[in-house]
Chains A and B, each alone.
Chain A
Amino acid sequence: MAKIGVYVCHCGENIAGAVKIEEVMKYAETLPDVAVVRNYLFMCSDPGQDIIKKDIKDGLVDRVVVAACTPRTHEPIFRDAVESAGLNRYFLEMANIRDQDSWAHWHDKTGATEKAKRLIRSAVAKVRLAEPLEDRYGDMEKSVMVIGGGVAGMFAAIDLANMGLKVYLVERQPSIGGQMIKLDKTFPTMDCSACILTPKMVEVAQHPNIELITYAEVDSVKGYVGNFDITVKKKARYIDWDKCTGCGVCTQICPSRVPNEYNFGMNQRRAAYIEFPQAVPKKAVIDRANCLYFKSMDKTGKPACQICEKGIPPKGIQGCPAGAIKFDDKDEYINLKVGAVIIATGYKVMEKTHFKEYSPHSPDVVTAMEFERILSATGPTEGELKRPSDGTKPKTIAFISCVGSRDERYHSYCSKVCCMYMLKHARILKEKYPDIKLYLFFIDVRTAGKDFEEFYVYTRELGVKVIRGGRVSAVDVKPNGKLRVRGFDVDLCSPVELEADMVVLATAIEPPAGTDELGRLFAATCGREGFLREVHTKLYPVETASKGVFLAGCVQGPKDIPESIAQARAASSAAAALVIPGKIKFEAIISEVDREKCSSCGVCVPLCPYGAIRLEEYKGKEKAYIEPALCAGCGVCASACPSRAITFHGFTTEQILAQIDALAEA
C-alpha cells in the first residue's frame, strides 16, 4: 500500500489568499493512502523541499503530491528533490492549485477551496498508480550544422569549431558574409563593415574544424537530437571549384548581363559571376537561368555561347585560364550526421513596391539597404553619392522610418535597427558632405543601446534635421523630377512638406524567404510574424521547440550586429553543452507500443506530430514501433489507438481514468 504525502504550498499569498489551507489539509488527510499532510509558505524553497525529503527518508512517505503552482516550471525541482531522497523521480504528482485555482477564482474563496480539494483528490488518485520510470540515454554525434553564413552563423561556427567540434556551415549564396557584408559602416562605432567581417570570413574558411558548404541548401532532415541525418543539396555551379582560381576572367567576358542581386539590381553582373569582390570562397558560379549556353541548349540543343570556356579566339580573348568551366555539372546531394543544428538564416528587408504612397516607381526612392550599397565603395556607384535617376549629387535627402514596421497592415513589430542606421547614414553623409540637407522623419527616435543615445546627439549636432511624430504620409514626384515629402512634425505641431532629391525608406526587417519551410524541416515553429520562435523569450532565448535545434541572429527577430553575435555565441554554447558530453538523455514520459496487442491498423503513424512512429516487421506482421528518441510525450497516439496497445508512461489509461473518477466524485 502506498504511503502518500500531500504538501500544500501557500505560495506566499498567491494560494493562501484564496484557498483555505487548513480546510484543504484536513480534507487531504481523509483521502485513501494519504499518510502525511503538511503545508509551507513556499514549498519550492530549500526548507520546503527539505520537509518532503525528510518524510521520505524517515520512511513516512513513498509517493508525493505537491499542491502548488504549475508543473511547467516546478515539476523538475520537486522531481529532483524526490529522487535525492531516494525515491523514483516519477513518484511525484503536482496539483496546480495556483494558476488553475487561486488565481482564477480569487474572489470566490469557498469555491477555490473546494476546487483545491478536488484537484488534490485527483492527484492522489493518480499518484497511487504511479509506476517507476527510468530515464534512458542515447548516443550523440559530436558535430553541429550551422545553417546560414552571415555574421551570426559565422560566429557560432567559429566558437563551436574552437571547442573542437566538427562544424558544417551551410550557406545558400555562393559566398558567406550575409547581410552585414553589404553594409557600408556599422553603428555606433562606425567600423567599416567589410573590414571587420572579412577577416572572420577568412577564419571560417580556413578553420580546420569547419567544413564550409556554400551555394547549398538543406534538402531533407531525418533523425533527431544527437543523431540528425541531414541531406544537403549543393547546387550545380557549372564551374569546377577545385580548379577555379577566382581570377574573374569569365565574369568579364560573359556576354549575358542581368541585374546584380548583391546591389539590389542597381547595377549588372554577368551570368558567370563572383558574388562580390571579397567573396569567401572566391569562386565563380554560372547562373543557369541566364546563361546563353543553357538557354540555347534547352531550345535548340546547340550551344549559342561558350565564351567563358573557349574565349573569342579571333579577338584574342582567352577563355577560363584554369579550364574550370563545367557545363555538365550537376546538383550534388551529400549526407551529413550531426548532433545539433543552429539556424542562423538572417533576414531580408522589405521591398519598396508595397508602399504606393511613397512613389516606389521613382528610382530616387530607395530602400535603406539599397542606399547602403550606394554608400559602399564596392557598390554600384563605387561609394559616390548619386541620384539613381540622373546621376546628379542630391542636395536634400529625406529618410522615412518605420516603413512597414509598427504597421498593422504589414508588421506590427519594431524593426529595431532602423532608427540607428538612419542616423548612421545621416552621419556618414554629413561627415562627407557637410552642406547636404538631411531630414529624418521618425515616429519617435528609438536609440536604446550602448552608446546609441550619444550617437544620436552627436548626429544632431552635425545639423541633421530630426522630424518626430512624422511618419510621412506621401511622397510625390513633382514635374521637375524632385520629390515632395509630406508629413507632420509634432515638435512644430504642424503639417510640413519638403522638396527632396532623394528619399530613403527604412523598410521593415522580414524573415527571409523559406524560413517557414526550413523551420518545418526541423520541427521548429515560427511565430506570428514568421520569425523562428524561441521556446521561452526570457529563459530559453536560443532554443527551439525542437530539441537540439538552436537559433541565432535575425531569423529569430530583428537585431543589430552585437546582439546577433551575442546570440550566436549563446547558441553555440548551448549546442556545445548538449553535444560535448557525447550522450543524450531521453525523457521517461513517452509512449510505448505493446506489439502483442497492436492490431497493425496504423492510425497512430500519421497522427504523431514528431514522426516518431513507424510500422516494423514483428513476428511476421507489420506492427507499430515508437522511436523513443523522437517521442516528445504528447500522448496523441495513446489516445487514438483502438487496441489500447499504446502505453503512455506516466499517464497510463488507468491513471487517467482514476483521475477523472476522482474529479467527477461529488
Chain B
Amino acid sequence: MEEGGVNVIDLTQGDESFVKELEGLGADELRECIQCGKCGATCPMALAGLEFFIKRIVHAANLGLRDVLLEDSSVWGCQSCNRCVEICPMDIKPYEVIQALRRAAIKVESCPANTYEGLRNLYKFGHAVFPKGFEERRKKAGLPEKPPTALSYDELRKKYQEVLKQTILEEIAPFPLD
C-alpha cells in the first residue's frame, strides 16, 4: 500500500459489518452524514492537529474502515465538548459516533495505554482522573486529604463498583475487578 510515501487507502478493506456494529453501538444515524464538514470546522481535535478529527472519522466509519480507525488513536483525543452535536445539520450526533468507536475499540483492546489507566481509576476511585500526591499539602491548608467526591465515600464507591461489575466491563477489563 505504501507508494512513494503516500498512504493509499484501500477501500476494498471496507467492511459493512463494522458499520453495522457501530450503528448497534450508538452511531445509529451514521449513514445520514453528507460530509458537509460543519463539525470539522468546530472540532478541537482538528485544531489540535489530530489526523482523524470528527468529519473524517464519520466518513471512514461509514466506509467500514475498521483498521484505519482502530490503528489510529485519534478517537481518544475527543474532548467530548459536544459542539459537533449542537451544530450538525443532519442531526447525526457525531459524538455518538466517537463513543461507538471507543466502545468498538475497547472490545478489541485497541486503545492507548492511558485509557486503561483511566478505566482502572474509574473503577477503583470513581474518577478517571483524580488528584494524587497532594494529600500533605491539602492537610496543611486545612483541607481533608481527599476531595469530597466519590473518593471520600467508601460505601457509595463499593455500590458503584457492584454496578460496574454488571456491565461489559466485567468481560473487557484488563485488571481484576475485586
A contact residues vs B (CB 8 Å cutoff): 396, 435, 437, 439, 445, 456-457, 460-463, 465-468, 486, 489, 491-499
- Among residues of A, the one whose C-beta sits closest to the C-beta of B7 is A494
Could you give, for residues 34-64 of chain B, a 1 whenever the CB lies within 8 Å of some chain A CB and a 0 otherwise? 1100000000000000000001100110110
Identify which of B7, B11, B56, B60 gathers the most chain A CB atoms within 10 Å of its CB.
B11
| Chain B proximity of A118: nearest CB distance (Å) | 56
Chain A residues lying within 8 Å of B26, measured Cβ to Cβ, are none
Whether B35 and A468, one on each chain, are in contact in the complex, defined by CB atoms closer than 8 angstroms, is yes
Q: For the complex, is B97 an interface residue (Cβ under 8 Å from A)?
A: no
Asked whether, in the complex, the Cβ of A456 is within 8 Å of the Cβ of B34, the reply is: yes
Asked if B87 is an interface residue, CB under 8 A from chain A, the answer is no
Which of A435, A445, A461, A495 has a CB less than 8 Å from the CB of B9? A495
Contacts of A463 in B (CB 8 A): 16, 19, 31
**B:61-80 near A, CB below 8 Å:** 62-63
Whole-angstrom CA separation of A163 from B55 in the bound complex: 56
Given A492-B56, A492-B59, A493-B56: A439 touches B11 (CB 8 Å cut-off): yes
Q: In the complex, what residue of chain B is closest to A447 when comparing beta carbons?
A: B34
Cβ contact of B32, chosen from A445, A460, A492, cutoff 8 A = A460
Q: With A437-B16, A463-B19, A491-B59 as given contacts, are A496 and B11 in contact (CB-CB < 8 Å)?
A: yes
Shortest beta-carbon distance from A100 to chain B in Å: 46
B8 interface residue, CB < 8 Å from A? yes
A-B contact pairs, 6 of them (CB 8 A): A435-B16, A445-B34, A461-B32, A491-B35, A492-B60, A497-B12
| Neighbouring B residues of A460 by C-beta, 8 Å | 31-34
CB–CB B9/A496 < 8 A: yes
A498 x B32 contact (CB < 8 A): no
Q: A457-B32, A460-B34, A463-B16 are in contact. Are A495 and B8 (CB under 8 A)?
A: yes
A491–B56 touching, CB < 8 Å: yes
Top 3 A-B pairs ranked by shortest CB distance? Answer: A491-B59, A498-B11, A499-B12
Contact-residue bracket for chain B:
20 to 34
Number of A-B pairs, beta carbon distance below 8 Å: 61
Given known A457-B32, A463-B31, contact A396–B56 (CB-CB < 8 A): no
* Chain B hits for A492, CB < 8 A: 9, 56, 59-60, 63
Contact B8–A496 (Cβ < 8 Å): yes
A466–B62 Cα distance when bound, in Å, is 9
Q: How far is the CA of A489 from the CA of B11 in the complex (A)?
A: 10
Determine which of A445, A462, A497 lies in contact with B11 in the assembled complex, contact meaning CB atoms within 8 Å: A497
A387 to chain B, nearest CB (A): 17
Contact B34 A465 (CB under 8 A): no
Q: Which residues of B contact A457 (CB under 8 A)?
A: 32, 34, 90
User: Closest residue to A469 on the B side, CB-wise?
Assistant: B35
A553 to B75, CA, bound (A): 51
Question: In the assembled complex, which residues on chain B have CB atoms less than 8 Å from the CB atom of A498?
Answer: 10-12
Q: Which residues of chain B are near A493, meaning CB under 8 Å?
A: 56
> B163 interface residue, CB < 8 Å from A?
no
How distant is the Cα of A496 from the Cα of B62 in the complex, in angstroms? 15
Question: Assuming the A-B contacts A457-B34, A460-B32, are A465 and B63 also in contact, with contact meaning beta carbons closer than 8 angstroms in the complex?
Answer: yes
**Distance of A396 Cα from B11 Cα, bound (Å):** 11
| B contact residues around A396 at 8 Å (CB) | 12
B6 within 8 A of A: yes
Docked pose: A461 CA to B34 CA in angstroms: 10
Residues of A contacting B60 in the complex (Cβ-Cβ under 8 angstroms): 492
Q: Which residues of chain A are near B10, meaning CB under 8 Å?
A: 496-498
Most buried by A among B16, B59, B90: B59
Bound-state CA distance A457–B60 (Å) is 17
- How far does the alpha carbon of A489 sit from the alpha carbon of B32 in the complex, in Å? 18
Residue of B nearest to A453 (CB): B34
| Min distance, Cβ B122 to any Cβ of chain A, angstroms | 33
| Residues in chain A near residue B6, CB distance under 8 A | 495
| B8 & A497 in contact (Cβ 8 Å cutoff) | yes
- Contact: A489 with B9, CB < 8 Å? yes
Residue of A nearest to B51 (CB): A493
Q: Is the CB of B14 within 8 A of A465?
A: yes
| Distance of A453 from chain B, by nearest CB (Å) | 9
Per the bound structure, the CA–CA distance linking A28 and B89 in Å amounts to 62
Per the bound structure, the CA–CA distance linking A396 and B12 in Å amounts to: 9
CA distance A468 to B34 in the complex (A): 10
Assembly CA distance A414 to B127 (angstroms): 57
